Structure 1
């Protein structure tokens, strides 16, 4: 099946309604058991160039292709950033709140890069608005969920976030090689789960997501 390139149809409709900037937003690492959850934010403005050739949602691209496309997204967009929430924040606050924290940090980075984030419309991948609760109340940002891989700004955010997070996991794999993060990127593959059972979790694991043996006091045993 041929997959069409994502377009700026949705973004241009928002520009026609008066939006001065549209920010595509997508998360990576939501279902992992180790590593950060990362949220990419890709800002575009009216009158910009067409999206890079070959741009797709990150899930539709090979790792090598993502590495080629990511710098092109940086060149194409008005600004791009990736926000992160740490494994401990996922444990403490839950994944939905952690997504909001990561996205807010990404938006702050865009603001620091000169983007008028407060006047923007944010396109969220998926049907659930997990961003608005993390924003200052009342938020001036317009958040529109239900964006998908057909939106070029969202696809750009997806690719940049995926390349960023994969690089973090590869770097962490040099310190904790027993978990195979250079291959599984922190997701719960059978080999990864077997390593957790054998060695215990690392400081980069989301311990509340693991089925761990209990200690004498009934708490999970999180020693390494």
Structure 2
């Protein structure tokens, strides 16, 4: 289970504002990539908080509500939509969304613990932690916010485009999604630079 070891280590090194940063949705064929940034209060604990990928949807929603209801927790969130992803590529779009999420905190001196590898040229001082969402509580909290907010967005898209089943696969390239993509073709929220979307001939 994640804990506050990395946060405490950073504060011991003189970093007064430590932020956990994570994303959700880099791999799907449709929809935005979602990023969140979280500052947890000193000594924060939660019995279930973990890497969002290890949790059921029900548990994620419950933890998400706990985070949203806790006034001690400061958080920011941002999307990079499919147009931005297609324009600058998914990695750069993810990093841009992460930076915007941190921007929302309004903390110029933020020190960011980012899930994954180090992010070059990130506008805040930062450290990449591979599999950080399973190690750092603040990154785990960011992973929950990023995932749940993106899932909510995809459920809303499912109402707008019911034939695509976004409420089930959330835009990932499942067998069912690929089948309807082949039948109906891509729509505006599909990432035109992603295979197999790019392999289909279509007109919007």
Equivalent runs, 1:156-171 vs 2, <5 Å:
156-171=141-156
2:109 aligned residue (119, 141, 148): 119
Higher relative contact order (CA 8 A, sep 6+): 2
Match of 2:2 in 1: 6
Match of 1:138 in 2: none
For the pair 1:73 / 2:61, whether they are aligned, the reply is no
Where 2:78 maps in the other structure, the secondary structure is strand
Match of 1:42 in 2: 38
Where 1:145 maps in the other structure, the secondary structure is strand
Match of 1:133 in 2: 121
- 1:159-198 residue CA offsets vs partner (Å, 9 max, x unmatched): 1111100000000001111111100011000110111111
CA pair 212-98 structure 1, distance change in 2 beyond 3 A:
closer
How many positions carry a matched residue from both structures? 201
CA pair 21-104 structure 1, distance change in 2 beyond 3 A:
same
- 1:96-143 residue CA offsets vs partner (Å, 9 max, x unmatched): 1101211121112111xxxx2x212111111x233x4353xxxxx211
Question: CA–CA distance in 2 between the matches of 1:160 and 1:173?
Answer: 20
- Unpaired segments of 5 or more residues in structure 1? 136-140, 215-219
Larger radius of gyration between Structure 1 and Structure 2? 1
Match of 1:173 in 2: 158
Query: Alpha-carbon deviation of 1:213?
Result: 7.8
User: Conserved in 2, the CA contact under 8 Å of 1:21 and 1:44?
Assistant: no
For the pair 1:100 / 2:95, whether they are aligned, the reply is yes
Query: Alpha-carbon deviation of 1:223?
Result: 2.2
* TM-score, normalisation: structure 1: 0.84
User: Conserved in 2, the CA contact under 8 Å of 1:35 and 1:205?
Assistant: yes
User: Conserved in 2, the CA contact under 8 Å of 1:179 and 1:196?
Assistant: yes
CA pair 18-78 structure 1, distance change in 2 beyond 3 A:
farther
